[in-house]
Structure 1
Amino acid sequence: MKKESTTQYLNIASAIIERSYQIKTHLDYFVWLQNSVAELIPHDMLLAVWGDFRQQQDGQLHYDAASNLKGLTTPAIIDATDKVSHILNDLYRLRLISGNDCFAINALEETEIYHRIKSTFPEQLVEISSLLVYGMKDERNGDECLYIFFSKEHALDVRKQMMDFIMPHVDHVLRKIKPLMQFDGIEKADDVLSLSTLSEREIEVISWIKAGKTNQEIGMILSISQNTVKSHLKRIFQKLNIGRRAQAVALLANVPSTKLKQLQLQQGVHAVYS
């Protein structure tokens, strides 16, 4: 890297870091990524994935998508988690095999992973041409995090030293802000349970959770297996930013049954309430 190029990038990086201290909300985070971080790392979506990559079941991985691609949101990623996990497996293995915490995949359409991405999100990611992956590990709890930049640029120039300089600040910002789906207080419970967040079946499942039914009972009522019920619960917990059934029950206590009935009627779901 030439001296003048290094100076230029350091100036941009310093400005990015200075602006990071002003971020208070997820919207601020998104604007910062697109207007500041994108000067160094051109991208259209940053997908953050953290948890235990060796155990990708039962909600072990968590997602946050900051995207300017229509229809590609955190709930959309969660809904496709079974397919997304295959992509993550590929990227995680590449990281282990290469021994690099930072690597780029350019000319993406020529790689096998491109077919997985295209089959998972055929419309949203059709113009994506490159990926930049940066990995971090939390030594306190053993969790790992992959930051995946999706870009329409045909090739991304990786400057690992610069990434090592910037990414801890990206990580810090994401840790300190609340997810878009998190809420404070009873008054925002309806927002959390919006139609854009929960699917028809998920509304049906949480209705029976509110009624105090067990997974086995819900499975019998809805004629689905207990494993399917668990899969729905995992997605519900991630979308509502909760980790346990008890938290779901507490949250639902603030939502009138009439509201759940209204949600189901709007979705075309007609469940029987006890």
Structure 2
Amino acid sequence: MGLLSSLPADHLQRYFRIIQEGLAVRQHFDLLTWLQGEVQHYLPHEIMLVAWGDFNANAIQHDIISPLPGVRTAHSELTGLYPLLRASYNRWVELGRMPCIASASDRLNGEYLVGYEDSRQQCSLGKALLSMRSSLLHGISDKRGRDECLYVIFSSQDKLNDSTLSAMEILLPYLDTAMRRVAPLPQRSCRSSLLALGTESQGLSEREIEIMDWVRKGKTNAEIGSILCISSYTVKNHLHQIFRKLDVYNRVQAVSKVERRARHG
């Protein structure tokens, strides 16, 4: 409580409100809503990249929390992200496992820590990272095991400064607690299987293609909403637009038409 005790009353109230809301997080949509709420006052960002596991053994998993279209865990490949995560982890360790900030011009071992560009990461996440101007990273080590958890936030503006370092130190334990309550999302190829089938030509937006890919896998609106960090109502609205564009009346007809067009080009 050392950092908190030195804050003025209005900031204390805001921090306690943020912490209380964080303790209520149970699923990815809750996590996204929390991070895009008052947390933004102290940790302004568009993308949060989380990686955990045994970094020394190269046995890690990752998760992405972002409101940006298509920037999702399910559409990112760890192989493409690994150089960025490794460089970030190495920097964190070299700085004594303390929070640190990087700008778009910072490099470590030849890798940019912000605006990372890699030919294997040509998806929405890779493109979004190119527009980021600053990042902040911090992590938590498990003293009873070998796992560590690294948190990297990215901002498209140069908003990250010393005050955000202090905020990260205060909020990291509660962020980590919230993350551990949320089941990790499926991880797969950067481009969805529908994109691989060339269905962009059917007039569907990237978000609509995401949704149709999960519809093909038998997911309900609520499940799709949880995976994409949007409400089931928003999924329903997207499906109405998809049906209109495909000139169909239901999910079965939509899936059938998409697959038929994909097979026949």
Paired position in structure 2 for 1:105: 102
More RCO (CA 8 Å, sep 6+): 2
Paired position in structure 1 for 2:22: 20
Give aligned pairs, total: 196
Unpaired runs of at least 5, structure 2? 197-226, 228-255
Paired position in structure 2 for 1:171: 176
Distance 1:115 1:168 in 2: 24
The AA in structure 2 aligned to 1:126 is L
Paired position in structure 1 for 2:63: 64
The AA in structure 2 aligned to 1:125 is L
Q: Do the aligned residues in 2 keep the contact of 1:12 with 1:40 (CA within 8 Å)?
A: no
The AA in structure 2 aligned to 1:175 is R
The AA in structure 2 aligned to 1:105 is A
User: What TM-score, normalized to structure 2?
Assistant: 0.62
Equivalent runs, 1:46-125 vs 2, <5 Å: 46-56=48-58, 60-77=59-76, 79=77, 81-106=78-103, 108-109=104-105, 111=107, 112-114=111-113, 117-119=116-118, 120=121, 121-125=125-129
The AA in structure 1 aligned to 2:148 is E
Structure 1 residue 71: Cα displacement: 1.6
Distance 2:260 2:190 in 1: 12
Distance 1:268 1:71 in 2: 21
The AA in structure 1 aligned to 2:95 is S
1:150 aligns with 2:154: yes
2:47 to 20, 41, 45: 45
The AA in structure 1 aligned to 2:137 is V
3-state SS of 1:136 partner: strand
Distance 2:38 2:114 in 1: 31
Q: Do the aligned residues in 2 keep the contact of 1:101 with 1:136 (CA within 8 Å)?
A: no
Which ranges of 4 or more aligned residues in structure 1 deviate by more than 4 Å?
Answer: 195-198, 264-269
User: What TM-score, normalized to structure 1?
Assistant: 0.60
Paired position in structure 2 for 1:223: none
Q: Do the aligned residues in 1 keep the contact of 2:114 with 2:134 (CA within 8 Å)?
A: no
Distance 1:82 1:115 in 2: 17
Structure 1 residue 94: Cα displacement: 0.8
Unpaired runs of at least 5, structure 1? 183-192, 203-238, 240-261, 270-274
Q: Do the aligned residues in 2 keep the contact of 1:70 with 1:124 (CA within 8 Å)?
A: no
1:127 aligns with 2:131: yes
The AA in structure 1 aligned to 2:83 is H
Give deviations 1:219-252, integer Å, cap 9, x for gaps. xxxxxxxxxxxxxxxxxxxx9xxxxxxxxxxxxx
Q: Do the aligned residues in 1 keep the contact of 2:134 with 2:157 (CA within 8 Å)?
A: yes
Structure 1 residue 140: Cα displacement: 2.6
Identity of aligned residues (%): 25
Indicate how the Cα distance of structure 1 residues 22 and 154 shifts in structure 2: closer, same or farther if over 3 A, else same: same
Structure 1 residue 93: Cα displacement: 1.2
